[in-house]
Structure 1
Amino acid sequence: MPTPIAFLAIAEAQQLYHWLPTALELAGRDDVRVSILSPSRQILDLALSYDPQERFEPILLRRPPCGPDSLFRQPSRLATLLLNYPAIRRFPVLVTTEISSAWLKHIPGFSSRIVVIKHGAGDREGGYRRRHALIDLTLVAGEKDRRRMIEQKLSEPGNVVVGGYAKFEICAERQRYFDNEWPTLFYNPHFDTKLSSWPAHGPNVLAALEALEGWNVIIAPHTKLAQRTPPITTTAPHIRVDMGSHHSIDMSYTMSSDIYLGDVSSQVYEFLLRPRPCIFLNLNRCAWRDDPAFAHWHLGQVIEDIADLPAALARAADLQPGFVDAQEAAMTDSIDQFPIPASTRQADIILDFARAAR
């Protein structure tokens, strides 16, 4: 009898690419049945578009009252879990990328085992919440995350495993978004209002980007920020703004840009799949040097005034050789590049766990 494994897709679309390659790998095995559970027809359709052989069993969950179905705005995760509890609890193993599902552990009689594929590989403290301690098995991208999970007592050493970064296997290829030969700057502000460069400084940042000469600019805020802030608009012909599309979540921009400009988004590690210059905006003047939440700021220039951006761009190429070793070391610690694909490794780990739990 095939081993049943359910992927619980109740988060927004940006998390889909972190579990999809592993789900496809498992679904391609004769002894596994993979179900995809989501309250979003759009999320299901996006996942199914990668499964032309129709190996997935899509299950459309009941949708709590909210706005129209959207890739980037989903109903309350807790409400979705409670509304669909009978359908969810019948699966012995649930795989997800979010930790709201940990609330199910508080319901008497709930016996499913929960596996989390931790999305992203960043440094921000928001990725380490107490609720995570309820998860049965956590797959992380690299040793950095495993170390921090254990140090913060969010996982026992045997319950957190390095599984790599499967998203790299389905990332977009480098594309041209502009009809010129100028280099491209990718600006990627985060949604955390305390750490992001956009909420308090957006108009000044946009003005500085509009004034750049000899550069193309892609502005693609984290999709959560894009949903919370008024649309970013500009008439500057050298700027492309993306407030939420598949390009903003499938690594299209990180693969197609020459310099990264941002604050605390873990997308910087996706950008550094190929070492390139990074510039970080410390416009809030925070004390960052000894804070592990800002470890990635040691991988490039840090500027405290947006007026310094043109000068930072001008010297980026000359400074980059001095950052390459640190970037490569940080990537090795953050995202383990196994000889075998991460999706295969993650699938093996999950399947072994599911069979042991039977």
Structure 2
Amino acid sequence: MPIDIAFLAIAEAQQLYHWLPAALELARRPDVRVHILSPSDQILALAASYDPQGLLRPIRLRRPPSGPDSLFRQPSRLATLLLNYPAIVRFPTLVTTEISSAWLRRIPGFRSRLILIKHGAGDREGGYKKRHADFDLTLVAGEKDRHRMIDRGLCAPDAVAVGGYSKFELKAPRQRYFQNDDPVLLYNPHFDPHLSSWPGHGAQILAVLEALKGWNVIIAPHTKLARKTPPIVSHAPHIRVDMGSRHSIDMSYTMSADVYLGDVSSQVYEFLLHPRPCIFLNLDHRDGSGDAFAHWRLGQVIERADALPQALACANDLQPGFVAAQEAAMQQSIDLSPIAASRRQADIILNFVKKSA
């Protein structure tokens, strides 16, 4: 009898890259049917663009009242779950990358297995919520996050497994975004207003970036920040601003940049798939000893925006001193096994489903 597994695609497009490789791998397995449930035609179309063989079975959920369909603005997750509850719970196994789906546990009679593919690298405390405990199985990228989930009492040791970072399998190739051969700096501010460098210092940072000589600059904030902040606008010819596109979520920029500039975004680990210079902004003079700032050990940390040109000037010379730390951080945060993460994730999910049947 075929095994039916449903992936809940009710989050914004940036999360799709964390579950789609496992969904495609499972769909290739004999006697497994993989269904993609989403209230968004755009999300379903994005998934289909990576599925030329048509292995996945899309199901368009009813859409709660909301704005126009968009990759980066989806309707209320809770409203989507409630409106489509009968269509969702007919599947015995539900896989998701967001924790709003844990609310299904609160509905009397809910019996489906809930599996979470956790996105991110496990640095920021905001990545640990009580609702994580409502999942039957959690897959994380590396041992660091696994230990933190267990230590916080959110998972029993046998309910959390390391599956790697399957998004790497969908990464875009290095691309050319500018007409000249100047090196490319990627500025990637985080969305958390209490930790991000942009909300309090955006104008100052933009002025420094616009004044840079001999550099091309891509400004690509986390898509959650892009939704909350006024559009970043620059007419400088060496600056490209992306407030939310496929390029901003498929690793196009992290693969194409020469230097990374950021604050606390775990996207730095996507950049460090190939070790390169990193510069971190501590413009609020924070104590960087906490977990949220763990990757500040992987590059220069500057406390004034006007220190950026000098930091860039010496970035390549200083990089050899950071390579060992970058490689160690990647090993701890993301398990880079020679076995594809999508295959490991599919094996973990399928073994769990068979044992639970």
For the criterion TM > 0.5, the same-fold answer is yes
Alignment of 1:112-123 (within 5 A): 112-123=112-123
Distance of 1:122 and 1:258 partners within structure 2 = 25
Measured after TM superposition, the shift of residue 122 of structure 1 is: 4.5
Give yes or no for the alignment of 1:238 onto 2:243: no
Q: Is the 8 A contact 1:7 1:35 kept in 2?
A: yes
* Residue type at the aligned position of 2:318: L
SS state of the match for residue 4, structure 2? strand
Q: Is the 8 A contact 1:251 1:270 kept in 2?
A: yes
Measured after TM superposition, the shift of residue 214 of structure 1 is: 0.3
Measured after TM superposition, the shift of residue 332 of structure 1 is: 0.2
Query: Which consecutive segments of 4 or more residues in structure 1 shift more than 4 A?
Result: none
Give yes or no for the alignment of 1:186 onto 2:186: yes
Aligned residue in 2 for 1:196: 196
Aligned residue in 1 for 2:144: 144
SS state of the match for residue 58, structure 2? strand
Measured after TM superposition, the shift of residue 165 of structure 1 is: 0.6
Measured after TM superposition, the shift of residue 306 of structure 1 is: 0.2
Q: Is the 8 A contact 2:81 2:104 kept in 1?
A: yes
Distance of 2:42 and 2:2 partners within structure 1 = 28
Q: Is the 8 A contact 1:122 1:265 kept in 2?
A: no
Q: Is the 8 A contact 2:122 2:144 kept in 1?
A: no
String of CA shifts for 1:229-283, please: whole Å, max 9, x gaps: 1111111000000010000000000000000000111100000000011001111
Q: Is the 8 A contact 2:94 2:112 kept in 1?
A: yes
Alpha-carbon RMSD? 0.7
Aligned residue in 2 for 1:334: 333
SS state of the match for residue 201, structure 1? helix
* Residue type at the aligned position of 2:91: F
Q: Is the 8 A contact 1:122 1:269 kept in 2?
A: no
String of CA shifts for 1:185-220, please: whole Å, max 9, x gaps: 000001100000001111001001000000000000
Distance of 2:311 and 2:317 partners within structure 1 = 10
Aligned residue in 2 for 1:311: 310
* Residue type at the aligned position of 2:20: L
Give yes or no for the alignment of 1:130 onto 2:130: yes
Q: Is the 8 A contact 1:195 1:263 kept in 2?
A: yes
Distance of 1:134 and 1:43 partners within structure 2 = 26
> Which blocks of at least 5 consecutive residues in structure 2 are unaligned?
none
Aligned residue in 2 for 1:89: 89
Alignment of 1:103-118 (within 5 A): 103-118=103-118
Q: Is the 8 A contact 1:186 1:260 kept in 2?
A: yes
Distance of 1:295 and 1:272 partners within structure 2 = 14
* Stretch deviating more after TM superposition (82-91 or 118-127): 118-127
Aligned residue in 2 for 1:8: 8
TM-score (norm: length of structure 2): 0.99
Distance of 2:292 and 2:228 partners within structure 1 = 23
* Residue type at the aligned position of 1:94: L
SS state of the match for residue 100, structure 1? helix
Alignment of 1:280-319 (within 5 A): 280-288=280-288, 290-319=289-318
* Residue type at the aligned position of 1:82: L
* Residue type at the aligned position of 1:197: S
String of CA shifts for 1:17-70, please: whole Å, max 9, x gaps: 111111011111121000000010100011011111111110001111010000
Alignment of 1:38-53 (within 5 A): 38-53=38-53
SS state of the match for residue 75, structure 1? coil
Measured after TM superposition, the shift of residue 339 of structure 1 is: 1.9
SS state of the match for residue 345, structure 2? helix
* Residue type at the aligned position of 1:93: T
Give yes or no for the alignment of 1:224 onto 2:200: no
Give yes or no for the alignment of 1:157 onto 2:157: yes
Distance of 1:71 and 1:153 partners within structure 2 = 34
SS state of the match for residue 169, structure 2? helix
Aligned residue in 2 for 1:65: 65
Q: How many equivalent residue pairs? A: 357
SS state of the match for residue 200, structure 2? coil
* Residue type at the aligned position of 2:327: E
Measured after TM superposition, the shift of residue 314 of structure 1 is: 0.8
Aligned residue in 1 for 2:102: 102
* Stretch deviating more after TM superposition (270-279 or 49-58): 49-58
Percent identity, aligned pairs only, is: 75
